[in-house]
Amino acid sequence: MAAEEKKQARSAKLMRLTMRYFEKKGYKVKRDVRLDGYSGTSRKFDLIVRKGRVTQAVWVREWRRTIGVNVIINLDKASSDAGLSNPMIIGGKFSDHAKSYANRRGMTLLTKRRLSLSLRT
């Protein structure tokens, strides 16, 4: 299997895990959603999850490296532009700056490990 195929397989596996996690938590899930932002820019989200009246944007990032604050800021800007609050990002690990920014902005950072552990119970 080529490196690109392995990467796609890992990404697909994480996406399935993420969708199962949100469905188990009672969210309605839509995949690969594009929303027009207030700025006129089309914004792409891996998932849009809805529970009750709350709708949130989700990015799923299957990277071998640490997810930095710049990615978190970009998700925050994209979701704000699309009129969504409290976005979530799923990934392997996050930098301390990313965690700090997300905490200040009310964003949720979830690791693959946390998703897996949550689905076991």
**pLDDT per residue as tens digits for the range 25-72:** 999 999 999 999 999 999 999 999 999 999 999 999 988 899 999 999
**Fold annotation for 3-120:** Trna Endonuclease; Chain: A, domain 1 (3.40.1350)
Q: Is the full-model pTM beyond 0.85?
A: yes
Q: What is the largest CA-CA distance in the chain?
A: 43
CA-to-CA dists, residue 116 to 11, 12, 51, 71, 87, angstroms: 15, 15, 21, 23, 20
Going by pLDDT thresholds of 50, 70 and 90, the confidence category of residue 121 is low
Pairing of strands 28-36, 42-51: antiparallel
Domain boundaries, the chain: 3-120
- Asked if residue 80 has pLDDT above 70, the reply is yes
